[in-house]
Chains A and B, each alone.
Chain A
Amino acid sequence: MADQILVVDDEPNMLRLLKTILMDKTGYEVTTTNNPLEVSKLLQEKPYDLVVSDLKMPLVDGMDLIDIIKKIDVQLPIVIITAYGTLETAEEAVQKGAYDFITKPFRKETILITIKRALEWKRMQKELAALKK
């Protein structure tokens, strides 16, 4: 079963780039939206293994999204994409529960490695939970 990734960014061109790269011979299935208001609906429609979100978006920013997502699935790893020079906010996002952040512009490999680690982390959490039962 392919890992399902939801990508949220208000800039459609960036979404296309992200989708191109995240689906290029990785085996991931990627859903995108430029509309952060849609996220909770999308998460309820089908299960996702990871969310990648831009930090700065109109109306609902990445920081709000962390809260929204955590309410739906506390285990769902979130990778936040931030603009260069907003390190403090990015750290705040991690404190709030984001798995990690990466700073734009970034290398293709950077996001692929971050996603891979996040998915592994999620699998381990799941195994751990299963063992505890």
Chain B
Amino acid sequence: MMFRFLRRFLKEEIDEQTRLRLKFEHFRRLLENNSRALEIMADMEEKLSGDFLFDTVYLQAQVERLGDNVSQLVTELNLLTENHYPELRSICQKLQEEIRRELTATPAIPPTPFVLPLSALTREMALSVGAKMANLGEMGNRLHLLVPEGFAITASAYKRFLEASGLEVELEKHLAQAPIDDLESLEAISREIQTLVRQAPLPPDLEAALVEAGKALQYRGLAVRSSAVGEDTEFSFAGQFATLLNVDAGDLPTHYKEIVASKFTSRAIFYWKYQHFSPEELPMAVGCLAMVPAQASGVMFSQDPHAPESNTILITAVWGLGKYAVDGAINPDLYRVSREPGLQITEQRVTAKPVALIPRPEGGTQEVALDPDKARSPCLTPEQIQDLAAIALKLEKHFGHPQDIEWALDESGAIYLLQSRPLRVSAPSFGVEERESTWEPVPPLLRFGIRAVGGAAAGRVFLYLRDEDVANIPPGAVVVARQPAAKLVLVMDRIAAILTEVGSPTDHMSILAREFRVPTLVEVGGATRVLHPGQVVTVDADAARVYPGIVAELLEARARPGEDLRQNPLFQKLRRLLKMATPLNLLDPESPEFEAGRCRTLHDITRFSHEKAMDAMFALDVDQSLRPSTCSRLKTDLPLNLFILDMGGGVRVPGQPWVQEEDILSRPFRALLRGFHHPQVTWAGQVAPDLKGFLSVFANTMYDMGKAEKGLGGKSFAVITDNYLNFNSRLGYHFAILDAYVSEEKNDNYISFQFKGGAAGVERRERRARLLSEILDYLGFKVKVTGDMVRGRMVKYSLLETEQTLELVGLLSAFARQLDLALTNETVVDRCFQAFKDEDYSLSFLHPEQSAT
């Protein structure tokens, strides 16, 4: 009986410590997952810069890893806190599901009528009618250029056709069963499927809409061409020539199916065979335009793609329909026009064009021979050439990119536009040299730092020293801070750049800055001291340089947007995924809104969990959990009755009843002890006669064994690992806790410090609180004071900085030992603060009689 009781007692004792060990294990894993999640988010955002190429496999892999890490993080937090945040689990799950859905989602086909007239189209409607028709509508409706009459058969019609005709099911079956061994078999399947499409019946509503649209046009002859959705000139399954010229509007349903069939090329079949086929993916819209009875047609480029530096517009022209100019069947006239005002024609190369393609009265086209005079004469007059050139410039300006334009001249000489699409300028651009990284336009003010977000920007320096300053940051400021502050997200849409003295490219702030594309440098040592408020500087984040004044050449060199890259569906997908993952809504841990239920992104969850985990470690009931009999004791000349629980790697030889200070391996604990041992600190020394020493705060029980007998109050506990320290000291009226993690992984590093209590009156205790808060703030902590309780936390400093700060916290504890009663007035508080800043830790001014001797 007695034995069982004892065993239970012993077991409980062990269990308490095991519990502590387990908690630390959860905490460690939480930190790991937090770091990895932040790294993944940072990595994905970096890919959005336009400097990288990535594929769907990358997106899938990163999203999976991110989801795994965040849900593991939530699990560890709940294990650490006895399931304190169960709702986080469902929030995390929901977010992951949403993100997965987004990953596999194809852009939905907008619900539109089956037919839309060209007069209703603008460039925003590319998802409904394809880029080709949307741009043509834009030219007619917004730029008021002449385009043929016509209409688009929408993507919505394509969907209706495939679904209602049974083609969708049929194609899926066909694709699944089709044996593909080589190109021939693939092409055979492509032909089979095209036949299937041609033979499929149009649903009656669609057929009626097409017939009606055909009738409504007063022209009989139509050009019917593909206007693929979600494809572009860079890569198109349909190829360039899915165009029927001069076909009868009355047979539109047949022509429509012909164009739809042309989508199912061997490339498209290959793609769909190994991906899921759906009518929503890469749908086909069709453009129907009245044939322009062209006397001449051609192509023009708003720039010479092989010699952009020549600043020239190129125009080619043939007699009759433009097909011969587009596919190079005959050698066309070539005109070069200067882009300078005046649009001077710099070259006319008129060729012999013996034949022309013209519409046949009964439909279709025919080639006719031209008489030699006409064949050798120019297709365009100088006025027409200049009119065309002016249109090319207008289109380039409007679309913001060099253009490749198809045009036709009708019998009256009016210029019709048939198509305009981006032109790829392939020649090496003139004069853009790769800049050497050592190039410095002027001597820089700062040449250190790590690029968190690339780019360059200029503005006035704003020193951001505490979170309250955020409201005062003016637009266009270069924000200079000691440490990264996620709160800056509130102004990131209007600031120019960010510099911080510490930080990492994967911390919360950097992730947010990347989202807003704010050039950001971290680890810029001395930035808050070298730069002055109001000073104008140029930040070159790519080269990690800060220059005085405005360096225009740097700002210009950086203003090259990769806009066409960002239009790529992969980039757009990544952007949508990041929108669900990286915005941060939980900014202020002190705010009542900082709660689990308000996490709306994965980033919110990591931020919340990390904060709450630090809180949980900080609040560990160490002295309730530990029994001296199961701990080691520190052998020291410090007046400390200190018990150590090593949870792994914290001491040289585990399991010893006594541990020498030199056998401590725990990095944070060693740093704290170095602070305790600072030469100016005199632990056992007599302070001013009427003052009670602060000594008592840090557990002077070697000299006070009586108190120790009353319970655990007189002892201090250190729970340690190689990277971790939880230092807990409760004695009499004083109460101090320190929780710290120090490692090579900057994102994991932190110090939480709390001090409370004291024997003096409220006024003096509050003065001490103010002094401590000023000093902690000076050391880089975020500080909160409630009555006489001071709490400080610093996170994400480097290993060295965190160690140095821990040492100073140790020193501060000793420094402040005399302050319990000494702070008789506010002036003393200020003098003490000054003394600390002057590194005079002996507080000699408090004992003038000693200084005198």
Contact = CB atoms under 8 A, between A and B. Distances in A.
Contact of A19 (B47, B58, B234): B234
A21 B53 contact: yes
B569 A35 contact: no
Interface of B: 47, 51-58, 61, 180, 182-183, 186, 231-232, 234-235, 237, 266-267, 270-271, 273-274, 306, 424-429, 432, 564-565, 568-570
A108 to B, nearest CB: 6
A104 B57 contact: yes
Nearest to A21: B53
Interface string A1-34: 0100000011111111111110111111100111
28 contacts: A11-B56, A12-B235, A13-B568, A13-B569, A13-B570, A16-B235, A17-B565, A18-B53, A21-B53, A23-B424, A23-B426, A25-B432, A26-B426, A26-B428, A27-B306, A32-B234, A33-B267, A34-B235, A34-B271, A37-B186, A37-B266, A84-B58, A84-B61, A104-B54, A104-B58, A105-B47, A105-B54, A108-B52
Interface of A: 2, 9-21, 23-29, 32-35, 37-38, 40-41, 58-59, 83-84, 104-109, 111
A34 B234 contact: no
A69 to B, nearest CB: 15
Q: Which of A10, A14, A40 has the most CB of B within 10 A?
A: A14
Contacts of B565: 17, 20-21
Contacts of B55: 9, 11, 13-14, 104-105
A18 B52 CA distance: 10
Contact of A37 (B56, B61, B183, B425): B183
A59 to B, nearest CB: 6
Given A105-B53, A105-B58, 14 more contacts: A2-B426, A9-B55, A10-B270, A10-B271, A14-B56, A18-B53, A20-B565, A24-B425, A25-B428, A33-B267, A35-B270, A37-B182, A104-B54, A108-B52
B278 to A, nearest CB: 15
B62 to A, nearest CB: 9
A61 to B, nearest CB: 12
A38 B267 contact: yes
Contacts of A107: 51-53
Contacts of A106: 52-53
B570 A17 contact: yes
Contacts of B234: 15-16, 19-20, 32
A4 to B, nearest CB: 12
Given A13-B570, A35-B186, A29 B235 contact: no
A15 B56 CA distance: 12
Contact of A27 (B61, B183, B428): B428
A29 B426 contact: yes
B58 A58 contact: no
A12 B52 CA distance: 17
Contact of B568 (A20, A26, A58): A20
A71 to B, nearest CB: 15
Contacts of B186: 35, 37
A5 to B, nearest CB: 11
A20 B183 contact: no
Nearest to B47: A105
Contacts of A41: 183
A121 to B, nearest CB: 20
Nearest to B422: A20
A38 B266 contact: yes
B53 A28 contact: no
Nearest to A106: B53
B461 to A, nearest CB: 32
A64 to B, nearest CB: 12
A104 B60 CA distance: 13
